């Protein structure tokens, strides 16, 4: 009897040992981690693209986080750029297997840190940390913008970007600049050569319009190996309408405010041989006093006036509307200038003179149109002369489809 009981106990112990051995064997063949409840290795289960440790990743690569099954529980991406950290917003696919950033392009010259937590089909968590850096370009381009941010301008203002490098991929750069208005109006781009991009509506802006310029040029490849630097938004307000009509043959300037004639001012324009351009010009800058040296505009040493008062620049080539104190009898009677439009003034500039009165009532962006001169029409790219181009021709100057 005792022998039988000992035999049964030995058999049971042997069976238990064999069962545990079989379980261990099963763990070995099917993965001990499954039995012990551990999640699979994170680098095998969670895929981060670009790979952890990648360097010089181009902007065209896509950032993606994937799992083959289960679901992504959380994805946190931080971008470090110019000593500042910012979160990268993104979204999960409907099945929870894929995360992508909302903005598909990577930012150049940045470090990306990715932290992921995922659940497999059994609800076990895995976590992965990855870091990669993007390509740092040697050369950059920027666009110098007219007008200034938060300025109030006249209704003739043209948005102009002058680039510091020649742009070969004009379509890509054009698409990275968005100009909008409130109230809305159609605004179209026009390229002048390969380094200047202007924007304007068909007609002058309506008073009270707010214009916003979104520059999304950062990391846009403007030419082989040359990438944009700017990512900012600026805006400006359009003030009242003021359009002045200079009649060079009649020696007068009629100033209209919001369509109403408010003054007729005597002027002197370009003398024979140095006539004033015809056409629509836009006030580009306003200088209370400036020096005018004929050698800077191709006239040799014919004049050098150190204190020209109330000067409003109309073209890039040097046409101004300004106060004239050295020929006080010319305005209203005879054209004596080297191409500028002169209004009577006094040395140092007087507030009660025609030049002072006009200066005090002007804005950058106001329109001055010249007629009756024996000269050609001002070129559309000379200053902000784009209003001298037909709308159909202007629209044909864009590069993006």
* Contact indicator for 75, 87 with CB cutoff of 8 Å: no
How far is Cα 29 from Cα 360, in angstroms, rounded to an integer? 90
* Contact indicator for 327, 336 with CB cutoff of 8 Å: yes
- For residue 205, give both structure tokens: 């802006």
Residue with tokens 């545990």: 20
How far is Cα 77 from Cα 129, in angstroms, rounded to an integer? 10
* Contact indicator for 342, 319 with CB cutoff of 8 Å: no
Neighbours of 69 (CB within 10 A): 12
Q: Rg of the Cα trace of the chain?
A: 36
What residues are annotated to the active site?
322, 340
DSSP 284-338: -EEEEEEEEEGGGGT-TTS-EEEEEEEEEE--TTS-EEEEE-SSTT-TTT---BS
- For residue 353, give both structure tokens: 């003179």
* Contact indicator for 271, 335 with CB cutoff of 8 Å: yes
| Chain centroid to CA 161 | 9
State residue 215 phi and psi, 5-degree precision. -95, 115
- For residue 304, give both structure tokens: 């050098």
Residue 67's closest CA among 47, 51, 49? 47
DSSP 107-129: PTT-EEEEEEEEE-TTS-EEEEE
* Contact indicator for 105, 59 with CB cutoff of 8 Å: yes
**CA-based angle 300:304:308, to the nearest 5?**
135
Q: Is the dihedral of CA 291, 296, 297, 299 positive or negative?
A: positive
- Would you call the peptide bond into 303 cis, given omega within 30 degrees of 0 as the criterion? no
* Contact indicator for 270, 337 with CB cutoff of 8 Å: yes
């Amino acid at each position: 009897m005792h022998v039988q009981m000992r035999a049964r106990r030995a058999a049971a112990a042997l069976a238990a040992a064999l069962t545990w051995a079989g379980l261990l064997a099963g763990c070995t063949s099917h993965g001990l981690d499954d039995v012990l409840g551990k999640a699979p290795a994170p680098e095998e289960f969670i895929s981060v693209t670009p790979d952890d440790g990648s360097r010089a990743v181009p902007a065209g690569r896509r950032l993606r986080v994937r799992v083959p099954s289960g679901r992504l529980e959380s994805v946190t991406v931080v971008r470090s750029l110019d000593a500042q950290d910012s979160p990268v917003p993104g979204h999960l696919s409907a099945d929870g297997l894929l995360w992508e950033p909302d903005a598909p392009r990577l930012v150049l010259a940045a470090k990306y840190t990715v932290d992921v937590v995922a659940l497999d089909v059994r609800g076990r968590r895995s976590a992965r940390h990855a870091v990669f850096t993007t390509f740092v370009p040697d050369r950059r381009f920027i666009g110098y913008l007219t007008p200034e941010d938060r300025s109030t301008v006249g209704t003739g203002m043209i948005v102009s970007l002058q680039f510091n490098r020649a742009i070969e991929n004009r379509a890509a750069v054009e698409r990275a600049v968005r100009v909008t208005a409130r109230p809305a109006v159609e605004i179209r781009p026009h390229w002048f050569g390969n380094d200047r991009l202007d924007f304007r509506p068909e007609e002058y802006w309506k008073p009270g319009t707010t214009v916003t310029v979104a520059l999304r040029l950062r990391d846009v490849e403007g030419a082989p190996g040359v990438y944009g630097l700017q990512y900012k938004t600026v805006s400006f307000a359009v003030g009242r309408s003021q359009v002045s009509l200079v009649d060079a043959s009649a020696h007068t300037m009629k100033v209209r405010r919001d369509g109403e004639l408010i003054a007729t001012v005597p002027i002197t324009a370009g003398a024979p041989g140095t006539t004033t351009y015809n056409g629509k010009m836009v006030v580009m800058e306003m200088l209370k006093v400036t020096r005018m040296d004929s050698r800077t505009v191709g006239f040799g040493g014919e004049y050098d006036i150190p204190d020209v008062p109330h000067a409003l620049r109309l073209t890039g080539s040097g046409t101004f509307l300004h106060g004239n104190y050295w020929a006080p009898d010319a305005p209203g009677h005879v054209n004596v200038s080297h191409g500028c439009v002169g209004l009577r003034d006094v040395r140092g500039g007087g507030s009660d003179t025609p030049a002072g009165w006009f200066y005090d009532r002007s804005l950058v962006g106001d329109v001055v149109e010249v007629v009756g001169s024996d000269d050609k029409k001002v070129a559309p790219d000379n200053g902000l002369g784009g209003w001298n181009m037909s709308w159909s021709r202007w629209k044909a100057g864009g590069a993006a489809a």
